Amino acid sequence: MKRMCIVVAIISLAGAVAVLANSLPSPKHLEQGIGPGVTTVENRAQEYLFRGDMTAETGLGCSNTTGNSGGPNDIAQGVTATLTPPMGIIQATYNIFTQNGYITQLAFRAWAGAGPPGATIASQALTAAQYSLGTHTVAIAPYIPLANQQFFFGFNQPQTNAGMRWGLDTSSGPSGTAYIRAPSCGLAAWGTLDSIGYPGAWVMRVLIDDTVPVELQSFNVE
């Protein structure tokens, strides 16, 4: 049996680290930490949720060097909303740092819990164009309903014949909220990136919406 290992993808150029995929700027009002950044749209409140600075210094995943084994891989980022339920995930942005063309199945997923990730709330399968190398923003439709302010979001890569590296922000320091589950690399259960020696946060964010328009009420007399 071939042994897999957690693979970090970086390139050193004259002592500097070159990012293999496009870096991902965050909204100006959300550059530090996890927000909050609440805006109102059509009588609804919306908020971006993420950890770190949303810039990938490196890529991390369970894979062999050629990328044709290593899965399955689940990655999850824990966040806490300032909005209160009912609310839902309507959009996701993420960075795929290395993908060698073997991926044919990938899904966005949300999990319950405050750590480690608990029960799966819902999944949305992605198309081939949405799991190519680079940065992607996809609509989550129908939206994924959230019953609690604390939850996890991330991705499920179920193939045993493929591996990949996800964008990882290491410059912001340990988050304690980024998890990976990769049986081929010895992580049959969820483990934090801190616990395996790669402290940081996944380069991904979600946009949540309170999903219930606020209607103006008035007194009526008949």
Amino acid letter for position 73: N
Domain for residue 84, yes or no? yes
pLDDT tens per residue, range 80-117: 999 999 999 999 999 999 999 999 999 999 999 998 99
Domain for residue 137, yes or no? yes
Q: Domain of 76: which CATH number?
A: 2.60.120
Reduce the secondary structure of 102-164 to three states and give it as a string: CCCCCEEEEEECCCCCCCEEEEEECCHHHHCCEEEEEEEEEEEEECCCEEEEEEEECCCCCCC
Q: pLDDT category, 39, cuts 50, 70, 90?
A: low
Torsion of CA 198, 2, 130, 60, to 10 degrees: 10
Domain for residue 27, yes or no? no
Helix, strand, coil shares, percent, the chain, to 5? 5, 45, 45
Rounded mean pLDDT of the chain?
Answer: 83
Domain for residue 216, yes or no? no
Question: Which pLDDT does position 5 carry in this prediction?
Answer: 59
- pLDDT of 213 higher than 50: no
For residue 78, CA distances in Å to 100, 107, 157 come to 27, 17, 18
The alpha helices in the chain, defined as continuous H runs, are: none
H/E run at residue 187: strand 187-192
pLDDT tens per residue, range 18-29: 222 222 333 322
Question: Which pLDDT does position 103 carry in this prediction?
Answer: 96
Q: pLDDT category, 47, cuts 50, 70, 90?
A: very high
Q: Quick one: average pLDDT of 108-137? A: 97
Domain for residue 162, yes or no? yes
pLDDT tens per residue, range 137-157: 999 999 999 999 999 999 999
Percentage of residues in the chain having pLDDT higher than 70: 75
**Gyration radius (Cα) of the chain, Å:** 18
Domain for residue 44, yes or no? yes
- Which domain covers residue 171, as residue numbers? 5-21+35-209
Q: How many domains does the chain have?
A: 1
- pLDDT of 121 higher than 80: yes
Domain for residue 174, yes or no? yes
Question: Which pLDDT does position 44 carry in this prediction?
Answer: 72
- pTM for this model (two decimals): 0.80
Q: Quick one: average pLDDT of 54-72? A: 96
Find all residues with CB under 8 Å of 104, minimum gap 6, and list them: 128, 159, 162
Domain for residue 112, yes or no? yes
